[in-house]
Amino acid sequence: MLHTFLEKIKATISKHRMLSGGETVLVGLSGGPDSVCLLTVLKELGKEWDLRLHALYADHGLRPDETPAEIAFCKTFCEGLAISFDARSIDVKAHAKEQGMNRQEAARELRYRLMHDMMAEIGGDRIALGHNADDQVETFLMRILRGAGPKGLSGMQPVRGKIIRPLLEVERKEIEEFLDERRITYIIDSSNLTEDYLRNRIRQIFMLDLKRINPGLIETMTRTMDILREEEKYFDTIVTKTLMKLICRKRDLRIELFLMPMERMERVILRRVLRRALDETTGLRGMEFIHIEEIIDLIKKGRHGDRLYLPKGLRIIKNYATLVMTSEAPVKTGTYALDAPGEIVLEEIRAVIKASVEEEAETYGDGKNLAVFDADKTGTSLEIRPRGKGDFFYPQGFGRRKKLQDFFVDEKVPRDERDEIPIVAAGEDIIWIAGMRGDERFGVSGDTKRYLKMEFKKAL
């Protein structure tokens, strides 16, 4: 069995090009059977492949009564194999609270971050993890219960960036048999025995029933996942080529895609393109399937100017030519003093407001980008500012007071654009919503002797 087991792992490493020889490999070591087996196997293969091994134990801070004994076990085990060993701490509870995620998600995120930092510290080439074929099937079942798509159901990748999983094609029972035959001891993490976690419930209840129905369950499902993974690679190639043609602009928290091709695109491809676009843009990752479907509906059925407000501050805007996906904070105009005559450049929104005082007015403008007021009512000392709590004015032609909030709603101004609209005020009174409407209290009349002319221009 030993020879067959080692050859099986060597075949996995070779098939997926995990190692070529001469690498420095950081091995995640918990003291459990999988990681102990992995380190043992890599130590043996390392003689042939000239591997330099370094083991790392991640203390999650969740089991303080058990952790010291586990660290001591791992340290002794590594000393017996003449392998360098480190134990590092991560604060899972604090991270879970800060990021609003459960402890399992927080632990995984911090653990991977720690391993990459440690790999850089030791000048490593690969990170080796002990996931096995049973873990792969458990992951499949967890994801199908949560409604994952084909990519999620293809399971863990044998190679993902610098991470390799040499045991991914051997079963848990094979690992335990290998360790028993070698008389290699290991420890059991008590958290793996509780039914508090979904993975444990699947492992201890569901998997046992499925194996009774199909003793070859692991092999059968692993083969299915291999097929899904191959198909995902094919789709990935199509998605990559498609997305390259769609990107109009891209920065850390924002991506703009050409709209017209997406309106005609088959939903099955569009879904993948949007997922890739979001996942590859910092600050836009982690959207669920339902959110992708909402974006597709916006593209296919929405009107120009429509938008979605999704979790994590993500906004999706359907413009005339592009689809904007962004988590950037909405633009907010600054506060400025303006004495007429004069002009102010509003850098935040790339616009200019110009004020002049005239004895006659050739036109009163449309009240939007050109508005004329009675200068003796407004005065010449003005303030340009964003909207404020409790703002109200008397919209021209409306005849009575109206809350600014209600005005924006009636005018269908998207809520993420309201802070960028300049408010022109004289003292406590609003006289003009630049680009939209003036206040009729300050309008010109037959008695007007001086005219305050105001112009609003935005850069194209």
Strands, E assignment, 131-171: 159-160, 163-164
Q: How far apart are CA 109 and CA 237, in angstroms?
A: 27
| Sequence-separated (6 or more) residues with CB below 8 Å from residue 423 | 384, 385, 386, 387, 388, 391, 404, 430, 432, 433, 434
Per CATH, which fold does 252-326 belong to?
3.30.465
Q: Which helix (H) or strand (E) segment is 25 a member of?
A: strand 24-28
CATH number of 336-458: 3.40.50.2020, 3.40.50.920, 3.50.40.10, 2.120.10.30? 3.50.40.10
Record the tokens describing residue 122, joined without a space: 């030791």
Q: What is the CATH architecture assignment of 2-220? A: 3-Layer(aba) Sandwich (3.40)
Pick from 203, 39, 197: which is nearest to 136 by CA? 203
Q: How far apart are CA 235 and CA 251, in angstroms?
A: 25
Residue type, 445: S
Record the tokens describing residue 431, joined without a space: 């006289």
The predicted model scores a pTM of: 0.64
Q: What is the pLDDT of residue 345?
A: 93
Contact yes or no for 363/370 (Cβ under 8 A): yes
**Beta-bridge mates of residue 439:** 395
Q: Which residue ranges of the chain lie beneath pLDDT 50?
A: none
**Do the domains 252-326 and 336-458 sit in the same CATH topology, yes or no?**
no
Contact yes or no for 19/49 (Cβ under 8 A): yes
- 268-275 long-range CB contacts below 8 Å, 24 or more apart? 269/238, 269/239, 269/242, 270/296, 270/299, 271/149, 271/296, 272/151, 272/235, 272/239, 273/239, 273/242, 273/243, 273/246, 275/151
Q: How far apart are CA 95 and CA 48, in angstroms?
A: 41
Q: What is the pLDDT of residue 164?
A: 96
Contact yes or no for 455/354 (Cβ under 8 A): yes
Q: What is the pLDDT of residue 399?
A: 82
Contact yes or no for 182/42 (Cβ under 8 A): no
Q: How far apart are CA 368 and CA 88, in angstroms?
A: 62
Q: How far apart are CA 157 and CA 228, in angstroms?
A: 11
For the chain, what are the domain ranges?
2-220, 252-326, 336-458
Q: Is the dihedral of CA 394, 398, 399, 400 positive or negative?
A: negative
Q: What is the pLDDT of residue 412?
A: 87
Q: What is the pLDDT of residue 101?
A: 80
